[in-house]
Amino acid sequence: MLFFFKLQGEEMKSIYKKIGATIVGAIATINVMALDELNVAYFEEWPMPFEYAKQIGAYDEALGMTVNWSAFGTGTAMSAAMASGDIDISVSQGVPPFIVAASTGQDLQIVDVAVSYADNDNCVVASALEIDASNASELAGLKVSVPIGTAAHYGYLKQMSHFGVDVGSMQVVDMAPPEGAAAFAQGSVDVFCGWGGSLRRALEHGNVLLTGAEKTALGILVWDVTSTTAQFANENAEVLATFLGVTAAANAMWNSGGFTSLMLPHIARDAGMDEAASADTMSTFVFPSVSSQLSSAWLGGSGITFLKGVADVFVNAGEIPSARGSYAGAVNTDGLNALASQ
């Protein structure tokens, strides 16, 4: 197992012993005979530690099977792919698209907190309009590109509500972030809402209304989850725990600060970004540890309350017909608990 992440040197082995112990038990007891391969969704231009493990084949090695990775443009597309059975696990699906699916009959479950990133999901207003927080009311009637049902959509609705702008007056165009950023650069839309590399490109042509810190202070939280169907989680508990264990070990390596030079080239290559842009993007990301995810700050309390809040926002905006009374049943921490018990 010490060679699992191709670690070299006593210092790296020592750190791995501390951070990798969570997955040893899961891998030792895994039963993968029911599956021949695993199909996983992820985002391009969204650099995360798991991509280091993906690049070096760590998931395949730990699971003893081929892991097929498919890049997606939105979390709503991930939901559809899980519904059709084309995808088993989605990494870094936004909470809003998860909530939309879970509120409209799809039996999805959150199995971990993938990343928190208030500064890497936002709306950008074209510079030529000279609109900022002081005159945000002038947004009324403008054309905005928004990937409907995503974290960016939720943030857009919350920001417009904060500024008292009637979203009914806006011309909303449903566009994935890469297409939205291109349209924004061409002047085809006045406002861009999105994330990652697309957000970076949009900022070359405009300004945000609220910073990440300002959004967080207003309760506009932004975080992604790893999700799967309830059926997959129930039938493949050991596979899921091991998958999460590899992810947790990669996160811990990155969080330690001691493996940046080793991991970053792999992460940037996988994300389709250069190393500088990847490092800059990841500098504002938070990758919670297993224990933190299980705490009251996340899936052990506040996170579940937040899920209900997101659903209520979408109900009020007319995006979904109704919300569940609680989303506790849409959270499955069995895999995380298995890792924490090792």
In this prediction, residue 22 carries a pLDDT of 40
How many angstroms separate the CA atoms of 249 and 263, rounded?
A: 12
**Tokens 């590899």, residue located:** 246
Contact 189, 144 (CB under 8 A): yes
Q: What is the mean pLDDT of residues 280-298?
A: 93
- The per-residue pLDDT for range 94-112, each reduced to its tens digit, is 999 999 999 999 999 999 9
147: which DSSP letter? -
In this prediction, residue 119 carries a pLDDT of 87
Q: What is the mean pLDDT of residues 117-142?
A: 95
Task: State which of 20-24, 86-90, 302-306 shows the largest mean pLDDT.
Answer: 86-90
Residue 126, CA distances (Å) to 156, 193, 202 in order: 15, 11, 9
9: which DSSP letter? S
Q: How confident is the model at residue 216 (pLDDT cuts 50, 70, 90)?
A: confident
In this prediction, residue 125 carries a pLDDT of 98
In this prediction, residue 34 carries a pLDDT of 65
Q: What is the mean pLDDT of residues 263-274?
A: 97
226: which DSSP letter? E
Contact 45, 197 (CB under 8 A): yes
How many angstroms separate the CA atoms of 91 and 164, rounded?
A: 34
Please say if the pLDDT value at position 204 is more than 50: yes
In this prediction, residue 338 carries a pLDDT of 93
Task: Considering only residues 269 and 218, tell me which one the structure prediction assigns the higher pLDDT.
Answer: 269
Please say if the pLDDT value at position 2 is more than 90: no
Per-residue HEC secondary structure of 177-207 comes to HHHHHHHHHHCCCCEEEEEHHHHHHHCCCEE
- To the question of pTM greater than 0.85 for the whole model, the response is no
Q: How far apart are the first and last CA of the chain?
A: 15
Question: Which phi and psi angles does 286 have, rounded to 5°?
Answer: -120, 125
**Poorest-confidence range of 18-32, 220-234, 266-280, 315-329?**
18-32
How many angstroms separate the CA atoms of 221 and 310, rounded?
A: 10
In sequence order, what DSSP letters do the residues of 76-116 get, joined into one string? Answer: HHHHHHHHHTS-SEEEEEEHHHHHHHHHTT--EEEEEEEEE
Q: What is the mean pLDDT of residues 71-79?
A: 96
Q: How confident is the model at residue 256 (pLDDT cuts 50, 70, 90)?
A: very high
- The per-residue pLDDT for range 134-186, each reduced to its tens digit, is 999 999 999 999 999 888 999 999 999 999 999 999 999 999 999 999 999 99
Closest residue by Cα to residue 223 from 103, 93, 71, 46: 93
201: phi > 0 → left, psi -120 to 50 → alpha, else beta; which? alpha
Q: What is the mean pLDDT of the chain?
A: 90
Domain boundaries, the chain: 10-117+222-340, 119-217
Q: What is the mean pLDDT of residues 315-319?
A: 89
Does 119-217 match 10-117+222-340 at the fold level? yes
In this prediction, residue 8 carries a pLDDT of 37
How much of the chain exceeds pLDDT 70, in percent? 90
- Residue 226 contacts by C-beta under 8 Å, 6 or more apart in sequence? 89, 90, 91, 92, 93, 110, 111, 112, 113, 114, 244, 247
Q: How confident is the model at residue 302 (pLDDT cuts 50, 70, 90)?
A: confident
Quickly name the fold that domain 119-217 has.
D-Maltodextrin-Binding Protein; domain 2 (3.40.190)
Task: Considering only residues 1 and 44, tell me which one the structure prediction assigns the higher pLDDT.
Answer: 44
In sequence order, what DSSP letters do the residues of 290-306 get, joined into one string? Answer: HHHHTSTTTTTTHHHHH
- The per-residue pLDDT for range 28-56, each reduced to its tens digit, is 444 444 689 999 999 989 999 999 999 99
In this prediction, residue 51 carries a pLDDT of 98
**CATH of range 10-117+222-340; options 3.40.190.10, 3.40.630.30, 1.10.260.30, 3.40.50.300:** 3.40.190.10
Please say if the pLDDT value at position 21 is more than 80: no
In this prediction, residue 342 carries a pLDDT of 79
**Helix/strand/coil for 287:** coil
How many angstroms separate the CA atoms of 83 and 68, rounded?
A: 17
Contact 114, 304 (CB under 8 A): no
